[in-house]
Amino acid sequence: MTKINIFDRTLKIIARDYTDTLLELIFPDVPVRLLGTLENVELSLPVRPVDFVHRVEYDGMEYILHLEFQFEHKAGFPRRTCICHGALTEQFGLPVVSLALYLKPRQAPIPNEYVVRLGGRVINRFTYPVVKLWDYVQEIRSGRYRGLAPLLITLAPDPDESVLREERALIREEPDDRKRADLFATAVTIASRYFDKAFLWRFFREELELMREATFVEEWILEGIEQGIEQGIEQGLQMGQVQGAQHAHRDNILQTLRARFRLSQQEEKPLVEQLEMIDSLDDLKDLFEHALMDVTMTDFSTQLDDKTNGRHR
């Protein structure tokens, strides 16, 4: 599995699900309206794609909003931001608003410009606003910016268990099941930078089941989810209840697919029939991993077809 920086994952989740929260935080006195989100924007320049840009409207005029999360400052970041800003302006033909959001507190000023000098004279200057998220810790804790709760452990001067309890309480208040699952998966992934994974399994044990519905699941979280499921299945196996174990695996697969891909009854029926054809517990366990990890339903269906046509049985 390709390893992705945990803060890239945080950016993806927050930028997708909580754009309105970020707009309120960045532009508290400006009535900016979100029009839509464009994902994985390829630029016609030798720089990596931009994870997200957003179409926003202010005073009847449309803009492209370009947000970049940074854990800590990197020397090449101002230059890259300048390049991306120009590329996005050319690509969309709209004015671009570029901002940087920083996660790791620091006392020194954060550079917010790309400057070209000749000798001691400034010839060109590109500037962009810097948002220091540690300035908004109280608003996050109050629930005003609940979507940023997974970042509290990074923003806290002393990341300890009490901060995790705050995060957990805030995330539990998210009414949308999928967003809540994504926030928990994001919170656990970020917390793994500061805490032992075994401790996190125990601390978030009640939320592990919910995390099956998340858009992404880190491999070690998947291991914790499977560990809990396997304990229940193993009890059945010890009693000779092989059929019960098969049923439990099939049910876990279907529940995960329903949550992740919003399956209709018509879509679910052939899946049930195909899963009933599979008796191997190893195959069913493998399919459960695919149900959690595959990006699209088509990817999972390909794996399921492979299992039922006899090539892997």
Reported as a single tens digit per residue, the pLDDT across 215-254 is 665 555 555 555 555 555 455 444 445 566 677 778 888 8
CB 131, CB 148: distance < 8 Å: no
Q: What is the pLDDT of residue 311?
A: 47
Question: pLDDT: is 201 or 77 the higher one?
Answer: 77
Q: Please state which CATH number belongs to domain 6-153.
A: 3.40.1350
Which two tokens mark 296?
Answer: 């699209």
> How far, in Å, CA of 137 to CA of 18, rounded?
16
Q: Indicate whether 6 pLDDT > 70.
A: no
Lookup result for tokens 């200057």: 125
Q: Which residues contact 27 (CB under 8 A, 6 or more apart)?
A: none
pLDDT at 153: 93
Question: Percent of the chain beyond pLDDT 90?
Answer: 35
pLDDT at 79: 94
Amino acid 71 reads F
pLDDT tens-digit profile of 37-55?
Answer: 876 666 655 555 566 789 9
Torsion of CA 75, 81, 87, 91, to 10 degrees: 150
Contacts of 183 (CB under 8 A, 6+ apart): 13, 147, 149, 150, 171, 174
User: How would you class 204 by CB atoms within 10 Å of its CB: exposed for 0-12, middle for 13-18, buried for 19 or more?
Assistant: buried
Look at residue 4 and tell me whether its pLDDT is greater than 50: no
Which one, of 19, 5, 8, lies nearest residue 148 by Cα? 19
pLDDT above 90: residue 65:
yes
Average pLDDT taken over every residue of the chain: 82
Note the pLDDT of residue 208: 75
Three-class DSSP labels, 115-156:
EEEECCEEEEEEECCEEEHHHHHHHHHCCCCHHHHHHHHHHC
CA distance 133 to 103: 6
List, in sequence order, every residue forming a beta bridge with 102; answer none if it has no partner. Answer: 70, 132
Q: Which residue has the higher pLDDT, 139 or 221?
A: 139
pLDDT score recorded for residue 172:
94
- Is the predicted pLDDT of residue 3 greater than 50, yes or no? no
Question: So what's the pLDDT on residue 7?
Answer: 58
Domain segments of the chain as ranges:
6-153, 217-308
Query: Could you report the per-residue pLDDT of 73-108, keeping only the tens digit for each?
Result: 999 999 999 999 999 998 899 999 999 999 988 889
pTM of the model: 0.66
Residue 174: per-residue pLDDT:
93
Please return the burial class of 211, using the count of CB atoms within 10 Å of its CB with bins 0-12, 13-18 and 19+. buried
